[in-house]
Amino acid sequence: MRASRLLSILTTLQARGQVTAPELADACEVSVRTIYRDIDALAAAGVPVYADRGAEGGYRLLDGYRVRLNGLSQPEAEALFMTGLPGPAAALGLEPAMLAAQTKLMAALPANLRPNAGRMQERFHLDAPSWFGEAEQPKHLRAIASAVLRENLIEIRYQSWRAEKRRRVAPLGLVLKGGNWYLAGQVDGSVRTYRVARVLDCSVLDEHFVRPADFDLAAYWQTATIRLEAEMHPNTATVRLSPFGIKLLNALSQPYVKTRTRIEETADAGRPWIVRSNVVASQADIHREWGGVVPELASRQHVRDICGVVERALEQASLRLDEIDGVAVTEGPGLVGSLLVGVSFAKSLAAARKLPLVPVHHLAGHIESLFLQNGPLALPSAVLVVSGGHTSLYLVTAPGAYRLLGRTRDDAAGEAYDKVAKLLGLGYPGGPVVDRLARQGNDRAIDLPLTRITHADRNAPQLPGRLDFSYSGLKTAVLRHVESRKAAGAWPPSDQEVADLCASFQRVVVESLLDRLFAAAGQYGAASAGIAGGVSANSRLRADALATGEKVGLPVYIPSLALSTDNAAMIAAAGLRRFAAGVRAGADLNADASLTL
Ligand code: KG4
Ligand code: ZN
């Protein structure tokens, strides 16, 4: 600490009479340059230290000078209150006095306490200006500070908001806020705040003033700041930001962001949409009760839900029905009863409101969830759509253009998850439970075979065949395993065995999906790969896909979990794309349970 070093320089000089800078540097274990600066500081603090030049030269104190280390002078005593604030103290011109006071304080301490005394200064630091703010160096600060201390009236010329003014002020106190100095001064009986940097001229008068006995600087400042802040930001601004900018906004501090009243996303060229609401009415509870989807129950529940869902979607988007420009609806594929509810509702709504109606393929919705999530994709992109009803591989050659490369010959991957979960008594839907349990299991514990398709399908000779999937064999293998365990009397299984079975099943599914996806990407020269549909919520599939993408140097797109499983936003996104392309449906639109894409 500097004060303790100054002290040891002083005592060395007193004891030895004459000492050279290198000797002092040795004794204090600092550089010679530091000693030069310390000697300057001692001289500035009023210690009569002299340099004798020449070979025999060195520093010495004025003959007979004995510093009284424990008697503080008035400026030193005043400066003591600024000892923790070296920056502001220097701005007020109190630095030499402060250093001298610290040295004396140090001297007054018993030697064994000295090392500890420096701890505060070494461990706490004040940086007064706020971020992006510059510390001011007001010209008249020192003069005003001395007038404050000595209670002299001052006459100032200053720049107010409107004009240059002259005032005779009784300076009551100084405040440093965010790097700026403010003067609390009394004029004509009332106290006002002046920014010291705006003081153009200041003369300190000989005349003294009487400081009001009840004036409390801290209390005054608190009320003054509340008033000032209200005056400082009278207007609000509307600022347009990119999605990245909105993210950064949360990290931005005053004075750039005062209050954020409302953050509202708007579309831009890369993402010509914003999702204002995405309401999903899940029927999972009903299906769980029946161990799977009962088509008749599903469509009846759709009838009950659909009005409320549309109302909520509008409400969350803060939109009225007459502000809507079009209606998009899933025409297929899927359960015909459920599809019909949506198609009939959408047709009625469009007709009643004279709105254009846009038909959407369910899987196109899943593919568009990737654009919704990521903005423009690197094309062409190999995209896997894996859901409860489908496992299909597409090449997206241009936005809205999908070419089928392969699909499952029997069960869908999600369906396999649901059936295996049912077999193990894990409930509906199976995907999320199996996913969760698999994390605790050994994925090599049970050897489950997977059918590998090597030849074209007679029913779809245009497809290469090698990119097709098959999961019914896997499902049967799990069934066989369960039956053999039952026959061996090893049923019900332990938690670990269930976890092992889930992990082993999941490994085979995920490996087969990624194998075909990356094979297709390579074969068709894709610039990226994507995975969409309910099964893309699977944690292992997501992690392995990203890892493989990284390994082979291919960007991999996955929707957020909310956009993975069936949702309204993806249908709206696909609808928007077709709407822009001029696609419209007439009043004869019908649901198509096996619509192809
Ligand atoms: O796309 P989606 O919501 O509905 C259909 O279009 O079918 O997909 C639902 C399917 C269900 O089979 C469900 O078990 C599966 O997605 N799924 C999962 C996971 N979450 C949902 N499969 C594996 N792991 C998951 N985490
Ligand atoms: Zn789906």
Query: Distance (Å, rounded) from C-alpha 481 to C-alpha 500?
Result: 12
Measured CA to CA, the distance from residue 334 to residue 591 in angstroms comes to 9
pLDDT in tens, 262-283: 666 666 667 778 888 999 988 8
**Are the CB atoms for 171 and 181 separated by under 8 Å?**
no
Average pLDDT, the chain: 87
Residue nearest to atom 14 of ligand 1 (CA): 431
- Other CB atoms closer than 10 Å to residue 252's CB: what's the count? 12
The residue whose two tokens read 């000779």 is 461
450 Cα–ligand 1 center, Å: 20
Q: From CA 502, how far away is CA 94, in angstroms rounded?
A: 75
Best substitution site from 565, 566, 570 to test ligand 1's pocket, by max atoms within 8 Å of Cβ?
A: 565
The pLDDT value recorded for residue 455 is: 81
Domain range 141-232, CATH class: mainly beta
Q: What pLDDT, on the 0 to 100 scale, is given for residue 82? A: 74
Q: Which of 535, 558, 561, 595 to mutate to test the pocket of ligand 1 (most atoms within 8 A of CB)?
A: 535
Question: Per-residue pLDDT averaged across 30-36, rounded?
Answer: 90
Pick the range with the lowest mean pLDDT from 49-58, 78-87, 208-217.
78-87
Q: Is the CB of 575 under 6 A from ligand 1?
A: no
Segment 165-199, tens digit of pLDDT:
999 999 999 998 888 899 999 998 899 999 999 99
pLDDT at residue 74, rounded to an integer: 75
Ligand 1 mutation pick, 387, 423, 512, max ligand atoms within 8 A of CB: 387
How high is the pLDDT of residue 252?
A: 67
Does 379-554 carry CATH code 3.30.420.40?
Answer: yes
The domain locations on the chain are: 2-61, 74-115, 141-232, 264-375+562-597, 379-554
Q: Taking the mean position of all CA atoms in its chain, how far away is CA 174?
A: 39
pLDDT of residue 255: 54
Q: Do domains 264-375+562-597 and 379-554 have the same CATH topology?
A: yes
Hey, whose CA ends up nearest to atom 23 of ligand 1?
A: 431
Q: Specify the DSSP element, H or E, that contains 199.
A: strand 199-208
- Name the pTM for this structure: 0.61
* Residue range 243-262, pLDDT digits in tens: 677 777 767 655 566 555 56
DSSP string, 258-320: S----------SSS------------HHHHHHHTS--HHHHHHHHHHHHHHHHHHHHHHTT--
505 touches ligand 1 (CB under 6 Å): no
Mean pLDDT, residues 146-155 taken together: 93
Whether residue 589 has pLDDT greater than 90: yes
Q: Is the pLDDT of residue 106 over 90?
A: no
Could you tell me if 384 and 517 are in contact, meaning their C-beta atoms sit under 8 angstroms apart? yes
Spatial contact of 437 and 426, defined as CB atoms under 8 Å apart: yes
Give the pLDDT of residue 202. Answer: 94
Instruction: Look up residue 408 and give its DSSP letter.
Output: B
Report the distance separating Cα 234 and Cα 494, nearest Å.
68
Q: Which CATH architecture has domain 2-61?
A: Orthogonal Bundle (1.10)
| Greater pLDDT, 514 or 213 | 514
Residues 264-375+562-597, CATH architecture:
2-Layer Sandwich (3.30)
